[in-house]
Structure 1
Amino acid sequence: MFEPIREQIKDFRKIVFVTGAGISQESGIPTFRGKDGLWRNYDAMQLATIDAFYQNPKLVWEWYNERRKNIIAAEPNFGHIAITELEKYAEVVVVTQNIDGLHQKSGSSRVLELHGSILKIKCTVCDFREEILTEFSENPPYCKCGNLLRPEVVWFGEPLPQDVWQESIKHINQCDLMVIAGTSLVVSPANILPIYAKQNKAFLIEVNPKDTEMSSEMDLVIRDTSANALPKFLSLFKEK
């Protein structure tokens, strides 16, 4: 599977992983797209907007509370664990589009969450922020200041947190290798991250069961799931 780069492994000192919904799906977390994208006959992509939230905060929070229960109960899979284990052999940074915290739960020490975290909440008006791992007693939940609380996630149409974005670009400009795992690369601006790495002459590996928007730009394409492929990738580093 990874035989073409066996001899190059020793040259990869800094690795950036760009991960998406595919790696979390293997831990039982549904994706927005495809057959998993409907919730009680609502299109999940339509619920993940600021307009939907203000039109019906109770409905949006019902959906997020169900997702939170599922995510809190989920465990990292072999893909997450392999990424964590790689820190023993190289500098590793994870830039993820996922909001589930599974990379941190697995033990990865440097995780940049482009789209925020469903495990965190923030006030829609004041500066209140907190990580909450339990159920809310009210729906929708309100801040002490009297205003609505919302998940600290990036909804469709909202900008990414610029501090996280800039730090991601910094690491990508420094990496020798980028591994794009479990993402279809259709969501902007995360889908331009491989371009930055390519410009920096980093080696690009895609791990995905299906073709993506950028498969033709990759140096190596692995048509498999992250949970199957990444432990084999890790084994090369153990051998070097």
Structure 2
Amino acid sequence: MKKKLVVLTGAGISAESGLRTFRDSDGLWEGHDVMEVASPEGWQRNPELVLDFYNQRRRQLKDVKPNLGHRELAQLQIHFDVHIITQNVDDLHERAGSKKVLHLHGELLKVRSTKNPKFILEWEGDLNLGDVDSQKHQLRPHIVWFGEAVPAFDEAITIAKTADYFAVIGTSLQVYPAAGLVDFVPANIPVFYVDPNPIQIPNLRNPLETIPLQATEGIPFLKNRLLAEFQ
């Protein structure tokens, strides 16, 4: 039976494919205050602005491709039972070939009803005011906005608890609850941290190996490390 490798990915891996992403440092996403385009209050104030913002992100997604980091994680499925938990809303992991991907913060290529959160549709084109569900309620981006619950977090905890190896890639570990996932990794399970600017992880009960590289360099290093040491 293959050992389970659980990987938490963040903005860093998508940025190397050319996707500009929200960073805590300036509070802006593509020039917008994130609270304008990623909060229920922003949606209430100006839904057209929010819809236009995500329409542009959806179009942009069609112009980028998975990078070496995405592809190498997919290749690791040959040797490990790989579960990816991602904070990213793009589909680059899936396009690279990863089969088990859990999106904590929603997905750009899906929309949902403003009244029934379980009414979710695949959506590749623009979403406009007047696009409604079967009960005539407006559709919205299937994105977890600031101040909203993270429905997939319980499933993410369950996955993290079963890890034989855990990797953190391209995330500043500043966005909660995602950053707290490492606390659910069983004690003494190896944790690998791939990030060019790693922070100190407080109260970690696990052996930690930091790989201070970008995802496209660090993931091949991680792959070789895992295959050499743990196969």
* TM-score, normalization by structure 2: 0.88
Q: Give the corresponding residue for 1:194.
A: 182
**CA offset at residue 99 of structure 1?**
0.6
Q: Deviations over 1:15-49 (max 9, x none)?
A: 10000011100111111124692445x31244200
Structure 2 counterparts to residues 97-136 of structure 1, below 5 A: 97-126=87-116, 127-136=118-127
Match of 1:176 among 164, 175, 199: 164
Alpha carbons of 1:27 and 1:36: their partners in 2 closer, same or farther (altered >3 Å)? farther
CA separation in 2, counterparts of 1:35 and 1:84?
32
Q: Give the corresponding residue for 1:153.
A: 143
Alpha carbons of 1:219 and 1:174: their partners in 2 closer, same or farther (altered >3 Å)? same
Q: Deviations over 1:174-222 (max 9, x none)?
A: 112111000001111111111111x432111100010225288461111
Q: Give the corresponding residue for 2:54.
A: 64
Residue 120 of structure 1 aligns to a residue in which SS? Answer: strand
Give the partner amino acid of 1:194.
Answer: V
Query: Contact 1:23–1:80 (CA<8 Å) still a contact in 2?
Result: yes
Q: Give the corresponding residue for 2:211.
A: 222
Structure 2 counterparts to residues 44-59 of structure 1, below 5 A: 44-59=34-49
CA RMSD of superposed structures (Å): 2.2
Alpha carbons of 1:215 and 1:83: their partners in 2 closer, same or farther (altered >3 Å)? farther
Give the partner amino acid of 2:125.
Answer: T
Q: Number of aligned pairs?
A: 224
Q: Deviations over 1:130-165 (max 9, x none)?
A: 1111234x446333433221111100000011xx32
Residue 64 of structure 1 aligns to a residue in which SS? Answer: helix
The structure with the greater share of residues assigned to helix is: 1
Q: Deviations over 1:46-80 (max 9, x none)?
A: 42001110111001111111111112322111111
Give the partner amino acid of 1:208.
Answer: D
Give the partner amino acid of 1:231.
Answer: P
CA separation in 1, counterparts of 2:12 and 2:39?
22
* TM-score, normalization by structure 1: 0.85
**CA offset at residue 167 of structure 1?**
2.3
Mean Cα deviation higher: 206-215 or 56-65:
206-215
Gaps (5+ residues) in structure 1?
1-11
Determine whether 1:13 maps to 2:33: no
**CA offset at residue 102 of structure 1?**
1.0
Gaps (5+ residues) in structure 2?
none
Query: Contact 1:207–1:221 (CA<8 Å) still a contact in 2?
Result: yes
Residue 185 of structure 1 aligns to a residue in which SS? Answer: coil
Alpha carbons of 1:81 and 1:39: their partners in 2 closer, same or farther (altered >3 Å)? closer
Deviating 4+ runs (over 4 angstroms)? 215-218, 236-240
Give the partner amino acid of 1:26.
Answer: E
Residue 65 of structure 2 aligns to a residue in which SS? Answer: coil
CA separation in 1, counterparts of 2:88 and 2:35?
15
Provide the identity percentage: 33
CA separation in 1, counterparts of 2:36 and 2:188?
38
